[in-house]
Amino acid sequence: MDLSQSTAENIEFMIEAIKTKLRMASGAAIKSEYFDAEKYEDLVDIYEHVNGKERFSVSEIDAIVQELGRLRK
């Protein structure tokens, strides 16, 4: 997938991939429509970080979720 363009489809793809990778039980609280193009690069950075790791500690998951919360509209 070409993530170089800030589109609603790319945002949705990344959010869903992050939620799946982190096995988020509260994934319903993080929806792609909560994010906008202004912070697209930050979202790409989080996506690449999450996608590049196999395992996460509880504190890492917490930090990622907090960062996603900061990026919300």
pLDDT in tens, the chain (73 residues): 799 999 999 999 999 999 888 887 566 667 888 888 889 999 999 999 999 999 999 999 999 989 998 998 8
Distance, CA of 63 to chain centre:
12
Do 27 and 19 touch, CB atoms closer than 8 A? yes
Residue 2 lies in a domain: no
Residue 17 lies in a domain: yes
Q: Give how many domains the chain has, as a whole number.
A: 1
pTM for this model (two decimals): 0.85
Residue 54 lies in a domain: yes
CA distance 51 to 68: 15
Residue 1 lies in a domain: no
Tokens of 70: 């900061």
Tokens of 16: 């869903």
Tokens of 69: 């919360």
Residue 3 lies in a domain: no
Domain encompassing residue 49: 8-71
Residue 31 lies in a domain: yes
